[in-house]
Structure 1
Amino acid sequence: MALPTVSTNLAKVFTAGAAAALLMLGASPSSAAPTAAPCSQGTYCWWSGANFGGNGISYTGDLVTGTCYLTTNVGSVRSYAHYHRQEGYFYANSNCTGRSHAVRARTESRDIGFNAYSFKAACVSCLAKD
């Protein structure tokens, strides 16, 4: 089943006007994607349920680093597949606060352990000490 997609052109409109309502994400494939999630290389996909279930959506476009975005297109996010360079954090609250889950580039998670209602684009690997 194909996920709905959001175009890159809309990213600029929503980033400027209604970023809190919709996420637009960038694509830059550079390595092989994990194969478990039903998501295309070069996209950023979210699902409302664990194990890539429930409502799902895929994104293309670029996020503004440091900006907080709501996950309203799927309600909340429980699993994801990020098959491009975009990194950031999912948060339990709708204002990018509360419990968080770090998302590295070209990774996926079957269950982040909580329902996330916002996402902040940030360089996770820049802060890593490993």
Structure 2
Amino acid sequence: MNIIHEHLLSSEDKMIKSGQLDEKIVLELKMTTALFDYIQVVNNYYDDEDNPYFNNWTDIEGFGYGWAWMSFEEKDWHKMMARMVSSEADDLLKKEEKTLYYVYENPTVKTYHFITLDDWRTDMIVSLSNKEIY
């Protein structure tokens, strides 16, 4: 896991904890969304069988960017993003035994990073901050 840590963290980031996904970390993530003003969800898909380390699709959702927010008023963006995180975290539990988690932070952003190693690799990266995230 240490070799993965080296690839995930920037020089400002501090690893808080990591391990095999379980219900406790999913519940912690759901509750933690209420403590921050801004939420961003990045999903990276590595589904090229010939090049499994190539990220060939990225979906980014946040306050005012991505697709999910378009049918919501701005005042409801936080609620919508918190529900999205909750739903996607519940989906991760379906592949609990194939998913690792990493929680790390820097002075402005707390990050929950999930790596699922199933038929192909999928990363779900949830960033939480009290400052706007881009």
TM-score range relative to shorter protein: under 0.3
TM-score by length of 1: 0.27
Task: Return the structure number with greater relative CO, CA threshold 8 A, min gap 6.
Answer: 2
Larger Rg belongs to: 2
Structure with higher helix content = 2
